[in-house]
Amino acid sequence: MHNPQLNSNGELIHLLSIEGLPRGILTHILDTAASFLGITDREVKKVPLLRGKSVFNLFFENSTRTRTTFEIAAKRLSADVLNLDITRSSTAKGETLLDTIDNLCSMHADMFVVRHASSGAPYLIADHLKRVGRDDIHVVNAGDGRHAHPTQGLLDMYTIRHFKKNFENLRVAIVGDILHSRVARSDIHALTTLGVPEVRAIGPQTLLPTDLGRMGVQVYHDMNEGLRDCDVVIMLRLQNERMNGALLPSAGEYFKHYGLTPAKLALAKPDAIVMHPGPMNRGVEIDSAVADGPQAVILDQVTFGIAVRMAVMSILAGN
């Protein structure tokens, strides 16, 4: 099946989803990110790989980590970065997404980094660019609806590889609102592609999609059972804004059954790491004692996100 992210040589031209990408491309991105982390740890703060290129950050939905780290990453690659202020843009006057894109193409954009509440919006843009003969412009999905958040998935894999050294023999649990989570979907595709033998999904029936088995994931409704002997615990935010109707009795009830406390974390391996994509709801899905505790690598994830986003942008459009 045609993958719109790859050209006829199998090279990455857009990053829209981790689903369908071969292991070699994921590994290449992680290895390239490792080389950038080496650079940014030292005195050299900038490399000229995107000099003369314009990166447009188009965030139609709120973001702290993703928008900021894309901006830092692009600047460290020497790109010109433009952050479109959507609330002050002509989108607010009714301009369509594709009319906005056509206008930004006329400003000599080289890359669009897109976050949108609608699943599929970055695909729509990539398809439109191809139709108007501008497939020299790259599209990076920075999170679309419930569908995918590929750079978060990649930075999560980078974090796991950093702390656990490889993906073999790992038991990884993803806990919480998987139904509404683009992060969970990207993580599951990345973990299974990279060869993690056991991926577990833990949550109430109402917050788990029905196709997890087909994705190679084991389902647990009892958190105590699901966490047992895990190497990695990925906690997810409860996405109240995406819920239609009452999927949960209350936040307090949710925390009692699915909140990560020190006592529950003790069921995982003693050296298990705790991850969370952010933003966190303390006291809803995670206890502050865990979020700020010695096993949490949540802020490391953010730092690694810069190197991973540098890797993605340089692979797509590097000089």
Tally of CB atoms within 10 A around 165: 9
Where do runs of H (alpha helix) occur along 136-273?
Answer: 150-164, 182-193, 223-227, 251-258, 262-265
User: Toward ligand CP, which CB reaches closer, 17 or 152?
Assistant: 152
Selected range binding ligand CP among 64-72, 89-97, 214-222, 262-270, rule: CB under 6 A: 64-72
Site for ligand CP in 143-172 (CB under 6 A): 143, 152
Of residues 19 and 61, the one with the C-beta less far from ligand CP: 61
How many residues form the binding site for ligand CP (CB under 6 A)? Answer: 9
| Residue closer to ligand CP, measured from CB, 66 or 193 | 66
Q: Minimum distance between the CB of residue 260 and ligand CP, rounded to whole angstroms?
A: 17
Cβ atoms 15, 286 nearer than 8 A: no
For ligand CP, the binding residues in 110-149 under the rule CB under 6 A are: 143
Can the peptide bond before residue 279 be classed as cis, meaning omega within 30 degrees of 0?
yes
Q: What is the DSSP string of 115-126?
A: EESSTTHHHHHH
Q: Is 66 in the site for ligand CP (CB under 6 A)?
A: yes
Of 65, 75, 221, 282, the one binding ligand CP (CB under 6 A) is 65
Q: 149 near 168, Cβ under 8 Å?
A: no
Could you tell me how far CA 291 lies from the centroid of its own chain? 19
The contact mask relative to ligand CP for 244-283 (x = CB under 6 A, - = no) is ---------------------------------xxx----
Instruction: Give the rounded distance of the alpha carbon of 314 from its chain centre.
Output: 18
Contacting range for ligand CP; rule: CB under 6 A; set: 60-68, 173-181, 224-232, 238-246: 60-68
In the complex, least distance from residue 280 CB atom to ligand CP, rounded to whole angstroms = 10
Nearer to ligand CP, 13 or 142 (CB): 142
Residue whose CB is nearest to ligand CP in the complex, by number: 66
Q: Does 239 bind ligand CP (CB under 6 A)?
A: no
- The minimum distance between CB 134 and ligand CP, in angstroms, equals 27
Cα torsion through 140, 40, 278, 32, rounded to 10:
50
CB of 119 to ligand CP, least distance (A): 15
Rounded distance between C-alpha atoms, residue 300 and residue 89, angstroms? 34
Residue closer to ligand CP by CB (options 145, 278) is: 278
Q: How far is the CB of 309 from ligand CP (least distance, A)?
A: 11
Q: How far apart are CA 262 and CA 286, in angstroms?
A: 10
Distance, in Å, from the CA atom of 60 to the CA atom of 91, rounded to the nearest integer, reads: 9
Rule CB under 6 A: which of 74-103 touch ligand CP? none
Adjacency order of strands within the sheet including 273-275:
217-220, 198-202, 171-175, 232-235, 273-275
Q: Which residues contact 102 (CB under 8 A, 6 or more apart)?
A: 132
Residue 68 CA to residue 300 CA, distance in Å, equals 15
The single residue among 27, 63, 91, 303 that binds ligand CP, judged by CB under 6 A, is 63
- Piece of 12-20, 38-46, 61-69, 186-194 that binds ligand CP (CB under 6 A): 61-69
Residue closer to ligand CP, measured from CB, 150 or 203: 150
Q: Which residues bind ligand CP (CB under 6 A)?
A: 63-66, 143, 152, 277-279
